[in-house]
Structure 1
C-alpha cells in the first residue's frame, strides 16, 4: 500500500495511531513493555498472549529471565497500566521501566505532578513485583527524564543489573545513574548532543549513546556516579543516512537500522565504539525502499537473521510510515534473503525459540498479528496465523 492509500484508510485515526505520545521502553531480548498476569482473549500465541490497555501512560519494561517462549508470548506497550497499580497512581505523567534479566522486580521511571496536570514535579524509579504487580518501593531521581515515545533506549539496565540508566532531556541531554544495590541515584552524566542508551554486555559500568555528528559516545561510570564521554570515529552520516535509536542487541553487538535502508552493526564493548558491519539492504532495489515505524527491526539471535519493516517510495520524513513488506536480512551473509507482504506494521519483534514467529503491530487496526516463520530453505512468504486486539494505541511489542 503506498503512502496516500494508507493515509486515506487512516482518516480520523492518524493522530491516534501514529501521533500519540507515550514513554515506555523495552529492553534486551524478549523484554516486556508492560505485563499483566493471565492471558487474554483471541490469543495469537496459543493461550499465552497478554493485551494491555492504554490508560495514563504508565509503562513498565521487563527484562525477565530469558527462557524459550511457549510458542511466543506477546506483550504490548501502549501507555499500559494495571488496575492494582492504577489505584495508587491516579494522576501521572508518561513513564518508562525495566525488569533486568535475572530480576523478578519491575522498574518504572515515572513522573508525578502534585496537582494532576500542574504543580510540583517529582520523579522516581518505582519498583513493583513481577509476580503480582504490587508496589514495593520507590527511588527518587532527577526531574529531568525524557518523556517521549516507547523507545527501548530511554531506560536500560547495565550488565549484571548493577545500574539503571535513564535518558534525560530538558532539552539538554544527560543520563541518570541509579545504583540498584544502594537503591539511590548516584549521578547525572551529561551526554551533550547525544541520545539513547546502549549498555555494554560485559562491563556493568559502560554504556554507549548515539550522537548527532555521526559518532557513538562511550561512557564509563565511576563509583561516584560521574563519567566522561569518549567519542568514536564517525560511524554514520547524520545528514544522508541517520540511524534509528530503535536498536536490537545481537550477542555483544547492537544492530541499528538506518533511515536510508542500511543496517549498522556496532560494537560498544571497548573504550570506544566501533563499526563492525554496514549492510546495504535496500541498495539497488527498485522502489526506494526504507525502514519505518516505531520499532522497525528485530533479530533472531541464534540464526542471525534481522527482520525489518519496509515501505516503498521512502523520502525524508517517511521513517515513521507503516510497513508494506517485511524483509529478512542475514547478518552473517550480509544480504537480504527474503521479502514478504505485511500488514501496515509500526512495530515488530521475534521470539527466540526453535520455531520463531514474528509479532507485528498493525498500526491502522491496533492489532497484534502473528506470522509463523517458514522453515530454513523454504520461501519467505508470511501469512498471518492469528490476530488479537492490541488495546487502544500499541506502539511497542515484545516477546518472551
Structure 2
C-alpha cells in the first residue's frame, strides 16, 4: 500500500543488483550509480521535502532470486518502484511480478529489444542504438566475416540473431557461433579460440557477460591474436570489465555504447568527479553505471511533479521526460517507454578507457522492434 503524500516519511524504493556471484563485476557498479544518485538527491533536500530510502537486496547472480526478491520488495516491504537487473533473464524473472502486482521496474541495461511492458521503463540501449552502428563500423574497418560468441541465455541468442540479419543484409557472413554457460570458467574458452583460429574471421562479436567476459578476452590474448587485425567487438564490454581483465588485455577491442567515461562534456566531468570522490580516483565509470544513475534522476524529477508513487501516475508522467545525463541530453520516448540515447563506438586504449571512433550527431530514437531499421549504416563516423 502506498503511503499518503501528506507525510514527511521517506519515499521507499527497491534496489535489486547483485553484489556477489559472476554478475557482480558489472552489477556492483550499477548499484553504485543508483546509490550515488539517491545520495545526491537526498543531499539536495530530497523530493518535496522527503528523502529517498533504498531497500536493497542482493540476488547473488541467481536468476530466480530476482523474481523472488522483487515479490518480497512489493509484498513485504510495500515498495512499488524497483531499480534493478542486468541480464534479460533477470528482467524476465521480475517482469511477471511487477505486472501482476502493478509495480514499476526501471531497467538500466542494454538489451535485445522486442519487448514492451506497461510496468517497465527501459533506459538501456536497444539494437538500433548500438548494434546497427557497430555492424557498419566493423565491416568498414575490418571485414565482413564474423564469429559470434555469447553467454547461453536470452540476450546473447537474440542479439546474435539480430546481428546475423544485419551482417547478411550488408553482404557479410557468420563463420561460427558458439555459446558458453553463465559463469563459464577460463578453460571453457580455450577450445573456442582454436575454432576461431581455424575459421579465420575478420571480427569476433561477443555477447558474453559477467566474469566470462574477462576470461574470453584473456583467452584471446593467450592465443596471441591481434586486435588490430581481428578485434573482439561487443555491446556489453565496458570499463568495468576492461579493468578486471587488465588494460593491456582489453586494448584495441571495440564496444558500442551510449556512454564512455572519456566523452567530453560538463555533465560527465561532474559525474566522474563525484563518482571517483566516493569510490576512488581509479574507479572507472561505465555505460550501465551511467544509465543506473540517470534513471534515478529521471524518476526523481517525475516524482517531484507527481508527488505519488502510484505506478499509473508515475508512468504517465514520465513519458517525454528529458534529463541532461552524463552521456548528453536523454529522454523517455512516449511511444515505447524506452530512452532515446546517444550512439557511440569506442576502442579500448592502454589506460582502460575508450577512444571514440563514432558518435551520433544527436540522440537516436528508441526503436525496440526495429520498425524503421534497414541495412546497418552509420550516418556519420569519425575514425
- Taking structure 1 as the reference length, the TM-score comes to 0.27
- Taking structure 2 as the reference length, the TM-score comes to 0.27
Q: Which has the higher helix share?
A: 2
**Relative CO higher for 1 or 2, CA cutoff 8 Å, sep ≥ 6?**
2
